[in-house]
Structure 1
Amino acid sequence: MLQRSPTGTWFPARVPQSTTTLSVLLILCSMVQSSTGGYDGSMLNGLNILPSYTDYFNLDAATTGLNTASVFIGGFFGPMFAGIIADRLGRRIAIFWGCVITLVGIVLQTAAQNITMFVIGRVLIGFGTAVDGIAAGVYLSETFPTRWRAWGVGLFNDFYYVGALIAAGITLGTGRWQSTWAWRAPSLFQGIFSVICIMILPFVPESPRWLVHEGHYEEARTVVAQTNADGDRSNLIVLTVYKEILDTLEWEKKEGRTMSPKEIVKTPVARKRLLVGMSAGPFSCVVGNIIASYYLGSELDTAGITDPNDQLKANVVLNVWCLGCALVGTHLVANWGRKDTALLSQALLVICLFVIGGLSKKYADDPDGASKGLIYGDVAVMFLFQGFYSVAWTPLLYLYPSEVMNYSIRANGLAFSQFMLNALAVLLVFVMPIGIENIGWKMYMINGSWDIVIVVLIAIYWVETKGRTLEEIDAIFEGEKHSLVPDVEAVRKGEAKVDADALENDIKTSALMVKT
């Protein structure tokens, strides 16, 4: 059964009464960015292997890099606007317009007659997915209950591999077609995720934190009830969560916090939260996964597997493996913690890169005399590398920045994290094929060396956010929580008691203070 959920925007919503059903819809709605992004990377992996694609555009190393990296050009500019759009128009509206822009880009990419048209389409895809991805990451973190947040936001990016797996299967199937539809058909299917998202948006609510900030207090309480207690507005958990939101936004208002992009660097605490939170984006980009994400064919060439059909099959298997590892990683992030999972994953990535570099060197020194054991061992470690990457960086990419940054800088801070990721990706995706072609195995050694630095930075500067509401994380950075109500999880577990009548009166007082 559906019930009205006030949104404070032109886009209405009627949501399921069941909190569990609503949570499933939230994940499905927000899967579009990661599915589209995962599909894109895997599709380009397949297309870069197909002669029908490379011959049609007459590609060399430089133009291959341009065609592939152009999606990150859009991803570079998208974050400049994504935070502002999500803050001013609402999280759901930002997701909607991001999907529309993505669909326009997909149509241009599919119909491309030359490199220029193909690149313009991919720039629009990158821009649209950046807007809806940032809005969705913030939206999920602000809407999911604390106990489900790690799974909700983590699974959001885990869908990267669902999209990648679908693309790998489609390119494997169309790879034998003797026409340009061998690459146009996979490109066209990329739009299905945006279409599904647009269809689901009317059945999910707006972020309660955005509603409170915009002055829609009763509407926000309704959403908190819908996402925490099957719509029961008088539930103690609902009252506690809602009061925390009111108190924290009241404090931010008194402190003069604004939604301006300048807010992310305005104070020492904001700068600290920005640097710690945004690091997930660039860290995840430079660890080395770009080689396998976009240039698996070239990577397999260095290991001695050169048959295009074998490479396409490896692409399918790789994405199944990574999806499983991402789900394991989401479990670790939710139950073990964000920082410890990142440290474990990053240390294993360093080891894998040096092993891959050593095995690839041995193959390069004597390709004709290389044993099958050497070749398969190299490929096995490549697969382990991608799996270890998926354990931490896939679930943490949107989860950690959204948790570390408070409301006034959350959308723009996550946008900055994605901006830095895409800025680095534009460079690395363009440079990697040239580097692999010229120095081969040495690229792995170089990458492994700078990954050691990332391990040290995580160990020193990252903080643990597990088990806290977004408002309770303020205590880590601000030195105190800005609400007198007990922690939500303590109330949920029965470790803390609250007086429902007193809390109702406090909520009315807080709402009046925020209004003034």
Structure 2
Amino acid sequence: MPSWGSSVPRSLLSVFRPYSQRASPEIETMEEQQAETPLLGLNTNGKRSGGCVSIQQYLDDFTRPRVSGSSTVVSILLVLCSCITSTTLGYDASMMNGLNMLPSYHEYFQLTTATTSLATSALWIGGAIAGLTYGQVTDAIGRRNSMFWAAVMTFISVIIQSGAQNTATFVIGRILVGYGTSASTLTGPTYLAETLPYQWRAWGVGLLNDCYYVGGFIAAGITYKTANLDSIWAWRIPSAVQGIFSVLCIVILPFIPESPRWLANVGRREEALTVIAQTYANGDETNAVVLAQYQQIIDTIHYERETGETLSIDQLAKNPVARKRITLALSVAIFSTVSGNVIASYYLGTMLVNAGIVNVTDQLQLNIALNAFCLCCALAGTYYSDHLGRRITGLISTSLLTIFILVVGALTKVYGMSANRAGIFATVAAIFLFQGAYSFGWTPLLYLYPPEVLNYPIRAKGMGIFTFVLNSASLLCVFSFPFALESIGYKTYLANGIWDVLEVTFIWFYWVETSGKTLEEIDAVLDGIKHSEVPSLEGVVRES
């Protein structure tokens, strides 16, 4: 077996070499040079030089990890913390779905079609701003610290939203909530993808967005219970409860480690090795799999620095691989938003009215049932995204939702606003099947696939662009669909179905498979060149 590379700390060479053969004199020289050369403006002890020291030290001390010795516990806490951020977003969607059905909410703010659209879509304005700014923050202060400040911002924003006395304050609160939640969902997938063991990445990152429906289910239940309150608390209580999830995230953060890839990239290599050991081998830094993963990361970082890959316009123009990476990531942002799901996610009440169900209580009950059904479908999709692969799961999901949205349009045309109970039930069933098909694929893939196809130099900023496009597309859809449903009715679904056919075609011809590989191995597939002499981690796992 050839030597694995050159960047293992000296204290580990005696452990590392029996597995990988002794390093050559050239590798010894490279080790000495690397030990003398700080990375990204950091000292050899891993701390930033200059004026940034106090800020970084403050952040590190404030939320210093108190990590369990069990890799299983660490992985569970990692997933739990990130899932809570997605729960917040799902809660918001279902909450607004419920509020849009409540007469007390509309009467308090005296909402029109335009102001209803603005209040609902304001979340995505803040999200788009987060996409433009928070990727840089995530690279600068780390994934874990970024999660903390995003949670704090979301909590403060929920207070403003739930205490709003007029439409303007409510909209401002929702813009800020959108910034905080999108900052979390930008950082969370990046953090999980970089920190979890590769064999748990599909479940860990997939569950992140599956919990969207956990939040949706909770919000639907709370809104249903408060709907009968004869006061403004019918909508204020659901709004205020949204802040609980941010508090839970803040409580968990001290017990999980920083991303090992971020630590390695800023020169804190010993800490990176420790984190890999904590997530793979119960803290055993001599474990062969731990050392293999560590060396893959270090070798890939050196390759990426040599190529100097960035997200600049010049780089994208010159580098077809960088273009492919960002195109793949943005295809997820667009397809997951423009497939027609926004209609059912935020305007289920309007869809049900068009289908002939006008009773508010019936609508709220269906909202609860829909969230429970979608959660089950999303969990099934998470399982199959690991076993069938990301590409096949995306194809199955998008093909099915295309069929079902066309069925919804046809049934709405025939039975909309009619008294035919069979037709009404068939329309509702088609809505459920459409959302279930969407949830099967796009719910787990939304935050799983983009951080896999984006390599480290562009991952955080790329996820920022992804978040901006996702929120911009959502803003467009959430704001425009009420007018489309009002003016052209069932034709909205038919037009969306035609678009969905194009999505299926793109996935079939352009997507690459990423399941069963480490992030560095995915990089090698896209780049067409292996960055490290380390064997695949699957092979190391089998041998160890």
Instruction: Give the TM-score normalised by structure 2.
Output: 0.88
Q: In structure 2, what is the equivalent of residue 59 of structure 1?
A: 111
Q: 2:151 aligned with 1:124, yes or no?
A: no
Partner of 2:345: 293
Name the counterpart of 2:14.
none
Could you report, residue by residue, the CA deviation over 1:406-461 in whole angstroms, capped at 9, with x for unpaired residues? 10011111221121111111111011111111111111001101111011011111
Q: Deviation per CA, 1:246-266: give whole Å up to 9, x if none.
A: 100011112223587986666
> How many residue pairs were aligned?
487
Q: What is the letter of the counterpart of residue 427 of structure 1?
A: L
Instruction: Note if 1:257 corresponds to 2:309.
Output: yes
2:386 is matched with 334
2:538 is matched with which residue: 482, 486, 489? Answer: 489
Cα offset, 1:133, TM superposition: 1.0
Matched, 1:28 2:80: yes
CA contact (8 A) 1:264 1:409 kept: no
1:137-176 correspondence runs (5 A): 137-176=189-228
1:401 and 1:86 map into 2 onto residues whose CA distance is 16
1:427 maps onto 2:476 in alignment: yes
1:75 matched to which residue of 2?
127
Q: Does 1:458 align with 2:507?
A: yes
- Give the counterpart letter for 1:486 in structure 2: P
Residue 509 of structure 1 is matched in structure 2 by none
Secondary structure of 1:113 counterpart: coil
User: CA–CA distance in 2 between the matches of 1:286 and 1:349?
Assistant: 12
Q: Are positions 1:436 and 2:485 aligned together?
A: yes
| TM-aligned CA deviation for residue 268 of structure 1 | 2.2
Counterpart position of 2:524 = 475
Asked if 1 retains the 8 angstrom alpha-carbon contact of 2:382 and 2:440, the reply is yes
SS at match of 1:112: coil
Q: Return the offset for 1:277.
A: 2.1
- Partners of 2:329 and 2:224 in 1: CA distance: 38
Mapped partners of 1:303, 1:409: distance in 2: 45
How far 1:200 sits from its partner (Å)?
Answer: 0.4
- 1:336-375 pair list within 5 angstroms: 336-364=388-416, 367-368=417-418, 370-375=419-424
The answer as to whether partners of 1:257 and 1:263 remain within 8 angstroms in 2 is: yes
Query: C-alpha distance in 2, partners of 1:337/1:23?
Result: 22
Tell me the secondary structure at the aligned position of residue 38 of structure 1: helix
* SS of match in other structure, 1:17: coil
* 1:164-183 deviations in Å (ceiling 9; x for gaps): 00000000000000000100
Q: Deviations over 1:118-151 (max 9, x none)?
A: 0000000001111111111100000000100000
Output the amino acid matched with 1:187.
S
Task: Tell me if structure 2 keeps the 8 A contact 1:261–1:409.
Answer: no
CA distance in 2, matches of 1:419, 1:388: 25
Following TM superposition, where does structure 1 have runs of at least 4 consecutive aligned residues deviating by more than 4 angstroms?
A: 258-266
* Structure 2: distance between partners of 1:263 and 1:128: 30
User: In 2, distance between residues paired with 1:314 and 1:378?
Assistant: 13
Residues 288-328 of structure 1, C-alpha deviation per residue, up to 9 Å, x if partnerless?
00011000000001111110000000000000000000000
The answer on whether the counterparts of 1:151 and 1:334 sit within 8 Å (CA) in structure 2 is yes
Aligned-partner Cα distance in 2 for 1:323–1:475: 34
Q: Residues 450-481 of structure 1, C-alpha deviation per residue, up to 9 Å, x if partnerless?
A: 11101101111100001110000122221112
Match of 1:269 in 2: 321
Change in CA separation of 1:263 and 1:408 when aligned onto 2, cut-off 3 Å: farther
> Partner of 1:284 in structure 2?
336
Compared CA separation, residues 264 and 99, structure 1 to 2 (3 A): farther
Distance 1:197 1:278 in 2: 27
User: Could you tell me how far apart the structure 2 residues matched to 1:31 and 1:383 are?
Assistant: 24
Q: List per-residue Cα deviations over 1:12-52 (Å, max 9, x = no partner).
A: 10111111111110011112321111000000010000011
Residue in 1 aligned with 2:148?
96
Matches within 5 A, 1:381-400: 381-400=430-449
- Label 1:173 to 1:44 Cα distance change in 2 as closer, same or farther (>3 A): same
SS class of match (1:14): coil
Structure-2 change in CA distance of 1:215 and 1:170 (3 Å): same
* Partner Cα distance (1:162, 1:259) in 2: 35
Aligned to 2:373: 321
Distance change in 2, residues 1:401/1:268 (3 Å): same
2:13 corresponds to? none
> What letter is aligned with 2:210?
D
Q: Which of 198, 209, 224 is matched with 2:276 structurally?
A: 224
Q: Contact 1:105–1:124 (CA<8 Å) still a contact in 2?
A: yes
Task: State the percentage of identical aligned residues.
Answer: 51
What amino acid sits opposite 1:306 in the alignment? V
Q: Which amino acid aligns with 2:90?
A: G
- Counterpart of 1:182 in structure 2 is 234
- 1:378 paired to 2:430: no
> CA offsets, 1:313-370, max 9 Å, x none?
0000000000000000000001110000000100001100111100000023xx44x4
Candidates 259, 264, 267, aligned match of 1:215: 267
Backbone CA RMSD of aligned residues: 1.5
* Matched residue type, 1:430: F
Q: Specify whether residues 87 and 265 from structure 1 end up closer, same or farther in structure 2 by C-alpha distance, changes over 3 A only.
A: farther
- Paired residue type of 1:111: G
Query: Residue 84 of structure 1 contacts residue 261 of structure 1 at CA under 8 Å; is this kept in 2?
Result: no
> 2-side partners of 1:317 and 1:309: how far apart?
13
Matches of 1:261 and 1:238, distance apart in 2:
37
Instruction: Calculate the TM-score normalised by the size of structure 1.
Output: 0.92
Q: What amino acid maps onto 1:120 in structure 2?
A: I
The verdict on how the C-alpha distance between 1:172 and 1:472 changes in structure 2, with shifts beyond 3 A counting, is same
Cα distance in 2, alignment partners of residues 264 and 139 from structure 1: 24
Structure 1's 150 and 263: CA in aligned 2 closer, same or farther, altered over 3 A? farther
Among 464, 489, 494, the alignment partner of 1:415 is 464
